Amino acid sequence: MLGVASLTNKALRTWLHGLPGVDQVGIEARAAALATRSIKTTSKSWAIDTAIGMIDLTTLEGADTPGKVRSLCAKAQLPDPSDLGTPQVAAVCVYGDMVGIAKEALGSSGIHVAAVATAFPSGRASLAVKLADTKDAVKAGADEIDMVIDRGAFLSGDYRLVFDQIAAVKEVCARPGDAPDAHLKVILETGELATYDNVRRASWLAMLAGADFIKTSTGKVQPAATMPVTLLMLEAVRDWRELTGEMVGVKPAGGIRTSKDALRYLVMVSEIAGDDWLSPDWFRFGASSLLTDLLLQRQKLRTGAYSGADYVTID
Amino acid sequence: MARLEVRKTYKLYIGGKFPRSESGRSYEVVSTGRSPKFLANAAQGSRKDIRDAVVAARGAVKGWSGATAYNRGQVLYRVGEILEGRREQFIAEVSASEGLTKPQATKIVDAAIDRWVWYAGWPDKLPQVLGNLNPVAGPYFDISAPEPTGVVGILAPQASSLLGLVSVIAPAIVSGNTVVVITSEDRPLPAISLGEVLATSDVPGGVVNIVTGRTAELAPWLASHADVNAIDLAGATELPWGELEAAAADTVKRVVRPAGDGADAVEPDWLEAPDLSRMTAFLETKTVWHPKGL
């Protein structure tokens, strides 16, 4: 696809730098314009349920305990005990050592377990350690692996290294026999990439290397997910499908806290990538407090009165 | 040379800021009296302004209720100081709003400032007066102490625009509650000026939130809001306040009814000396059992 005989850093560089530059003012204006859509009650109700079904309910703290992960899993399966019609979330996202506990707690609910790996969140470890980290999570049963790219290598222009690492991690995500492979989400950590051009290049680089999903951020760096950055990534996956026929998912993570934000992202998915992406298979929210706000809005629509934090479960 | 008139824009007071209504609406406020005169345009708050105000109030509960009672007393006294400094402004506003002569308005404003200062003395005394060491049949210290209820919604009195307002806000925040106030519908201007006083006197943003607008439109949203823990219906005398009480009951709120009964509900004479009842209405009792040893 790159039109070169051998995959050298130079070839990758030429190709990635050949991508059209991003019009910063234009993309920010476009994202802001998409955020002004008025969404009426019936659409809102659909959008809230859709957004809940797209959440990767996340806990990535040093202080995580098995108990905390179990209660998060309980909330993932039954987000609102006062309304059993509330959809389940898409996945629970935890550190690698908690995968077994989450897997057991979620049982046959169909909710995926996503594990962050490859020396998350910094990614500063040798490839051997990153692969071991990934293998460990895959072995424990993780359905999805959220890896971080080596931003240092990317920023210093060593695209080949980044490519190879993604490809290597992708390989260890495979399971032998009929067992389904773990899906690979590649975290670009856009807050550290400095420019929109870099975000576009990193998105394409990750897709070239075999990413199933591209994800904005770890949530540990500010700024995390923003509308313009997600818009760029949605453009990238749309163009990728046109070029290759394959679909790649997008996951904004970090900083999305309110239902209003979530609805704006859904508008953007529909407008930029297309309605095919409006499914948990192709679009996810990496969030923890977002679910609470979505549930409050859902209760507001159901009862007609504003709800309060006392009426949703804590995780 | 003639000066250009500098007109004041009366906005809402939410979370320590003065936003316009989310709805963009405003309404005309006119003076009371035989020949009503245009006073100002006030923001006509919407249900979403109420929602935002409740979010601000909820966010302020931890800091305000966690401050020491002594500190709360100091902050409230500081409000009294600044009220005193703005005395002339309040006299003019109350006079215009309520159709009073200057001496009558002066009496009301002085009473309002005195009322605030009276309440400012209460934060560190409430636990002493209402708290208790309970006699129990066992080797325990059994101690009860009052705690704030949380977020209190207040429908401010419709007639008494400043004295009545002070008489319902101050007792609620003394103990560490935060409040969302829907002002008098026709006389909202002194309330927004009170907001300016609060904003410049060390009261943390969000402790008092003031929304102007149509009481009948806003009250049901405040009464039914699940994140509001109590509601004072002082200003609901002209509304079917039983319905508001019923809505509040859905989430087991504490309710202070207007004075009088049913359709005969009236505003009390706010000049009368207050008792503890408006403070005790928004308190919960925490009881601690502590082993005494042998």
Identify all chain B residues contacting A305, using CB atoms and an 8 Å cutoff. Answer: 221, 224-226, 247, 250
Q: Do B226 and A307 touch (CB under 8 A)?
A: yes
Residue A1 covered by a domain: no
Provide the pLDDT for residue A178: 86
Binary contact (B227, A306; C-beta < 8 A): yes
The Cα A291–Cα A53 span in angstroms is: 10
| Per-residue pLDDT at B264 | 82
Which pLDDT tens digit goes with each residue over A26-42? 999 999 999 999 899 99
**Nearest-neighbour CA in chain A from B224: distance (Å):** 6
How far away is chain A from the Cα of B47, in angstroms, using its nearest Cα?
10
Cβ distance A172 to A134 under 8 Å? yes
B115, part of any domain = yes
Q: Would you state the pLDDT for residue B294? A: 67
> And the tokens for A86?
């509330």
The string of pLDDT tens digits covering residues A181-197 is 999 999 999 999 999 99
Q: Cβ contact (<8 Å) for A308 and B58?
A: yes
Q: Identify the bridge partners of residue B146 per DSSP, sorted by sequence position.
A: B285
**CATH number of B62's domain:** 3.40.605.10
Whether B101 is covered by a domain: the verdict is yes
Q: What is the pLDDT of residues B178-211, one digit of tens each?
A: 999 999 999 999 999 999 999 999 999 999 999 9
> Chain B partners of A258 at a C-beta cutoff of 8 Å?
none
Say if B16 falls within a structural domain. Answer: no
pLDDT digits (tens, 9 = 90+) for A286-315: 998 999 999 999 999 999 999 999 999 887
Tokens of B112: 């309002």
Helix (H, G, I), strand (E, B) or coil at B218: helix
pLDDT at A202 over 90: yes
Residues in chain A: 315
Distance CA B94, CA B108 (A): 8
Residue B69, pLDDT above cutoff 70: yes
Mean pLDDT, chain B, whole residue set: 95
Q: Is residue A273 part of a domain?
A: yes
Note the pLDDT of residue B261: 77
pLDDT single digits (tens) B125-151: 999 999 999 999 999 999 999 999 999
Q: For A120-137, how does the pLDDT look when each residue is reduced to its tens digit (9 = 90+)?
A: 999 999 999 999 999 999
The band of A52, judged by pLDDT with boundaries at 50, 70 and 90, is: very high
pLDDT digits (tens, 9 = 90+) for A79-98: 999 999 999 999 999 999 99
* Mean pLDDT, chain A, whole residue set: 94
DSSP string, B170-216: HHHHHTT-EEEEE--SS--HHHHHHHHHHHTTTPPTTSEEEE-S-HH
Contact call for B224 and A311, based on CB within 8 A: no
| Domain of A280, in residue numbers | 9-311
Question: Would you call A309 an interface residue with chain B, using a CB distance cutoff of 8 Å?
Answer: yes
Distance between CA A65 and CA B185 in Å, rounded?
A: 52
Q: Do A305 and B58 touch (CB under 8 A)?
A: no
| CA–CA separation, A253 and B176 (whole Å) | 37
Interface contact B224-A307, CB threshold 8 A: no
The CATH number for A94's domain is: 3.20.20.70
Average pLDDT over residues B256-268: 86
Q: Which residues of B touch A38 (CB under 8 A)?
A: none
The total domain count for chain A is: 1
Residue A2 inside a domain? The answer is no
**Within a domain: residue B15?**
no
Tens-place pLDDT, residues A241-261: 999 999 999 999 998 999 999
The answer to whether A307 faces chain B, any CB pair under 8 Å, is yes
Instruction: Flag whether A16 is in a domain.
Output: yes
pLDDT computed for residue B260 by the predictor: 81
pLDDT of residue B107: 97
Average pLDDT over residues A59-73: 95
Asked if residue A3 belongs to a domain, the reply is no
Q: Answer whether A82 touches B (CB < 8 Å).
A: no
Q: What is the DSSP letter of B287?
A: E
SS3 state of residue B242: helix
In a domain? residue B31: no
A308 chain-B contacts, CB cut-off 8 A: 54, 58, 225-228, 251
Please state the domain count of chain B.
1
In a domain, A243, yes or no: yes
Percent of chain B with pLDDT over 70: 100
**Residue-number span of the structural domain to which B189 is assigned:** 39-291
